[in-house]
């Protein structure tokens, strides 16, 4: 369960509501498994923070947290999640290359599309360095080269065209287009704010990626 609030006082109010509900239903929150992640403001970053309690125990202040498979950081930077995806991609790619080395290229391409084109939560990548982005893209390209036993410096665009597989940029555009469609079709009032406000930075970024204005 995740609680989101703009201030320490408001998050304390929500925690008291949770404690009251737990008490009424014979439940107990585990404070040792609960953490607080404070998203840093650009102009206001206090050096000391008041304690936030749950069940009489102070909660640990975390700098990053993995939620539903996506890494959240206090700076709202996506470099950490790109690195998570890069490492997972490397593991899957090496596994395919090792176990299916004797298979024909068609089998390898089918496995590549199934195991290496997921890019879970990539539609949420907005704030990242070009270095982290390029490192993941190169990792993705190299895995296909390794599976098909192609030269290290062969053309990436030509490789994907010949294999009839989506390159890194095409996958991101498809994932973001799907996310944008679902947000715009959602009945959730909070998601409608993203869909209906044309000046929303996140929506604008999604549109720019989909139409190819940015990568």
Residues 98 and 161 in one domain: yes
Residues 100 and 12 in one domain: no
Which pLDDT score is estimated for 109? 96
Question: Does 150 reside within a domain?
Answer: yes
Question: Does 58 reside within a domain?
Answer: yes
Asked if 66 and 60 count as a contact pair (C-beta separation under 8 A), the reply is no
Distance CA 45, CA 48 (A): 9
Residues 149 and 203 in one domain: yes
Which pLDDT score is estimated for 18? 93
Residues 84 and 140 in one domain: yes
Question: Does 73 reside within a domain?
Answer: no
**Number of structural domains, the chain?**
2
What is the span of the domain harbouring residue 57?
8-62
Residues 185 and 151 in one domain: yes
Q: Which of 207, 87, 205 is nearest to 135 (CA)?
A: 87
Question: Does 67 reside within a domain?
Answer: no
Question: Does 98 reside within a domain?
Answer: yes
Q: What is the pLDDT along the chain (215 residues), one digit of tens a residue?
A: 899 998 889 999 999 999 999 999 999 889 999 999 988 877 777 677 788 999 889 999 999 999 999 999 999 899 999 999 999 999 999 999 999 999 999 999 999 999 999 998 999 999 999 999 999 999 999 999 999 999 988 999 999 999 999 999 999 999 999 998 888 888 888 888 777 777 788 888 888 898 887 77
Residues 35 and 117 in one domain: no
Instruction: Determine whether 139 is exposed, middle or buried from the number of CB atoms within 10 Å of its CB (0-12, 13-18, 19+).
Output: middle
């Amino acid at each position: 369960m995740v609680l989101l609030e703009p201030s320490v006082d408001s998050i304390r109010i929500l925690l008291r509501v949770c404690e009251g509900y737990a008490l009424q239903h014979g439940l107990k929150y585990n404070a040792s498994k609960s953490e607080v992640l404070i998203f840093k403001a650009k102009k206001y970053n206090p050096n000391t923070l008041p304690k936030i309690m749950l069940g009489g125990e102070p909660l640990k202040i975390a700098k990053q947290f993995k939620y539903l498979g996506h890494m959240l950081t206090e700076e709202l930077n996506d470099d950490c999640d790109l690195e998570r995806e890069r490492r997972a991609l490397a593991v899957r790619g090496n596994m395919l290359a090792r176990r299916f080395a004797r298979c024909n290229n068609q089998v390898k391409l089918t496995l590549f599309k199934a195991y290496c084109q997921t890019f879970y939560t990539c539609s949420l990548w907005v704030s990242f360095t070009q270095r982290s982005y390029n490192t993941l893209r190169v990792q993705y390209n190299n895995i296909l080269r390794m599976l098909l036993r192609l030269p290290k410096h062969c053309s990436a665009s030509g490789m994907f065209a010949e294999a009839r597989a989506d390159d890194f940029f095409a996958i991101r555009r498809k994932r973001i287009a799907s996310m944008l469609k679902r947000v715009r079709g959602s009945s959730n009032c909070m998601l409608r704010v993203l869909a209906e406000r044309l000046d929303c930075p996140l929506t604008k970024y999604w549109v720019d990626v989909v139409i190819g204005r940015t990568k």
